[in-house]
């Protein structure tokens, strides 16, 4: 035993030195992004596939709900409510993403507050039945207000209503890939769908590495990250590949609760510009970092913008 001791010590110290990277997966726009554009059979199929894959990964996730997606022509649609129920039944934590996905930068604060409350009705009831609570709020477009007054007022309102803000560090344009993926699907172009899927994973690897670098630059270490993706057909097909990529970068999947225990999230955020940007950059801007700190973000391939006709800003 004695002769093995140095080896054991070496293995132990390497394990201590190489603390595993940590990441929490957060999924927006439940029950399904762009559900109103899909036929019933299709949104049922995609929801089932996405939830099945999420469960198979055994990694915690939190989903953020827009209850306006439960309506068809202003009437509550039971088949859409059923899709939300699937998330609850799968045991996932759910948070509030407002009712109708407005920007805090664009509507009066009172309207915004009402939209938050309107957005919790059905989900809260479901969670209650499951013995759970709604604890987190995600700002639509990650837009948090154009003045400190508005930003602080929203934060106060959220606190008073039992919500904690769910920040995002690994910001990305996955939503644009998803839009392109849907368009390729509608054109029955499976070759393009495959290209978009593969490019999506490579792009997300680049983004992850970029934010690791920015975290190192700001905090001198890789903080516990919060990843934003959406409930969509792209992730229904590529969630396994996404998780494999993240695991290959030596990440452990943790809950949002655990991620926010990282003291980095106590950093001051006085960001009041229009962009829906990563909290790492909000903290950096608040700390007065100069222009050279920012930039060089891995870009979404140009063909994605061209094909979708979407505009980056």
Cβ of residue 209: shortest distance to Zn ion, in angstroms?
A: 24
d(CA 249, CA 222): 12
* Binding string, residues 55-84; x marks residues near Zn ion by CB under 5 A: ------------------------------
Between 143 and 215, name the residue whose CB sits nearer to Zn ion. Answer: 143
Between 28 and 262, name the residue whose CB sits nearer to Zn ion. Answer: 28
Q: Which member of 28, 174, 212, 237 binds Zn ion (CB under 5 A)?
A: 28
- Write the DSSP symbol of residue 12: H
> What are the Cα distances from residue 308, in Å, to 74, 304, 312?
28, 6, 11
Report whether 237 contacts 200 (CB < 8 A): no
**237 binds Zn ion, rule: CB under 5 A:** no
**171 binds Zn ion, rule: CB under 5 A:** no
d(CA 42, CA 94): 23
Cβ of residue 98: shortest distance to Zn ion, in angstroms?
A: 8
CB-closest chain residue to Zn ion = 28
Instruction: Note the residue count of the chain.
Output: 313
Site for Zn ion in 133-162 (CB under 5 A): 140
Between 28 and 93, name the residue whose CB sits nearer to Zn ion. Answer: 28
d(CA 22, CA 226): 9
Q: Which member of 22, 27, 29, 105 binds Zn ion (CB under 5 A)?
A: 29
Q: Which residues contact 72 (CB under 8 A, 6 or more apart)?
A: 36, 80
Between 140 and 233, name the residue whose CB sits nearer to Zn ion. Answer: 140
**174 binds Zn ion, rule: CB under 5 A:** no
> What are the Cα distances from residue 199, in Å, to 167, 205, 304?
26, 10, 10
304: tokens are 């994605």
Q: Which residues bind Zn ion (CB under 5 A)?
A: 28-29, 140
């Amino acid at each position: 035993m004695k002769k093995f001791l140095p080896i054991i010590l070496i293995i132990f110290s390497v394990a201590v030195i190489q603390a595993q990277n940590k990441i929490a997966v957060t999924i927006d726009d439940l029950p399904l992004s762009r559900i109103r554009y899909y036929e019933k059979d299709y949104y049922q199929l995609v929801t089932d596939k996405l939830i099945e894959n999420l469960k198979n990964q055994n990694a915690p996730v939190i989903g953020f709900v827009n209850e306006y997606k439960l309506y068809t022509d202003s009437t509550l649609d039971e088949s859409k409510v059923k899709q939300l129920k699937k998330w609850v039944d799968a045991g996932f934590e759910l948070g509030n993403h407002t009712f109708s996905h407005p920007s805090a930068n664009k509507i009066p604060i009172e309207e915004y507050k009402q939209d938050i409350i309107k957005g919790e009705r059905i989900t809260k009831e479901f969670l209650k039945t499951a013995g759970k609570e709604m604890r987190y709020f995600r700002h639509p477009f990650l837009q948090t207000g154009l003045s400190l007054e508005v930003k602080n007022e929203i934060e106060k309102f959220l606190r008073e209503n039992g919500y904690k803000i769910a920040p995002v560090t690994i910001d990305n344009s996955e939503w644009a890939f998803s839009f392109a993926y849907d368009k390729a699907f509608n054109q029955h172009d499976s070759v393009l769908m495959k290209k978009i899927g593969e490019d999506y994973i490579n792009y997300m690897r680049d983004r992850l590495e970029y934010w690791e670098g920015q975290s190192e630059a700001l905090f001198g270490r890789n903080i516990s990250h919060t990843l934003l993706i959406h409930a969509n057909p792209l992730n229904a097909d590529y969630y396994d590949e996404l998780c494999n990529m993240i695991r290959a970068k030596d990440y452990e999947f943790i809950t949002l609760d655990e991620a926010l225990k990282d003291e980095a999230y106590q950093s001051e955020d006085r960001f009041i510009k229009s962009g829906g940007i990563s909290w790492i950059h909000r903290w950096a801007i608040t700390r007065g970092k100069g222009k050279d700190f920012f930039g060089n973000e891995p870009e979404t391939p140009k063909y994605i913008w061209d094909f979708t006709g979407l505009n980056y800003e």
